[in-house]
Amino acid sequence: MGNGTSIGRVRGLGSSKHGAGHWLVQRYTAIGNLILIPWLLISLALLPGYDFPTVHDWAARPLTATLLALICINTFYHARLGVQVFMEDYVHEEGNAFAVKTLLNIVPLAASVFGIICVLRIALSATTGGAA
């Protein structure tokens, strides 16, 4: 580690805050997505039709509902981390950066909870045809 140039003074110190953890969780959640999203796409492609009872019956199965809820957690969190990296790179003005950080700590969590509530309602509704 040098002490002349600014890069020399920080080289080898590692990330300054939570960068390493962020980097790793981005990859752990990516591995989850590697299973969840191909499963979703293949399942949707294999459905015999896209009318309400067919799709609802499929989504209401316990295993399907579990995986859909996992997408709401794992995939949404992966997206949140990715948007954070994107915003950190391109939003420099301090006020905007703070606003973005605030939204990143609210919106993805709200989206996850909303998605999970929807999945629960689907999974726990007794029959096909829908309530409304």
Partner 1 sequence: MSASTSRSRMRPMAPHLEIWRWGPAMAVSILHRAAGQAMAFVGIPVFLWFLYALASGTDAWVPFARHAGAWYGQVVLIGLSWAFFEHLTSGLRHFVMDVGAGYELDTNNSWSWAVPAIAIVLTALFWAAIYLR
Residues at the site binding partner 1, with contacts judged by CB under 8 A: 5-7, 9-10, 27, 30, 34, 37-38, 41, 45, 50-52, 55-56, 59, 68, 71-72, 75-76, 79-80, 82-83, 86, 94, 111, 114-115, 117-119, 121-122, 125, 129-132
Q: Is the dihedral of CA 63, 65, 69, 72 positive or negative?
A: positive
Q: How far is the CB of 14 from partner 1 (least distance, A)?
A: 14
Q: How far is the CB of 17 from partner 1 (least distance, A)?
A: 13
Q: How far is the CB of 31 from partner 1 (least distance, A)?
A: 9
The 10 Å Cβ neighbour count of residue 27 is 12
d(CA 96, CA 85): 15
Q: Which two tokens stand for residue 5?
A: 């140039």
- Residue 34 or residue 99: which is nearer to partner 1 going by CB? 34
Q: How far is the CB of 66 from partner 1 (least distance, A)?
A: 14
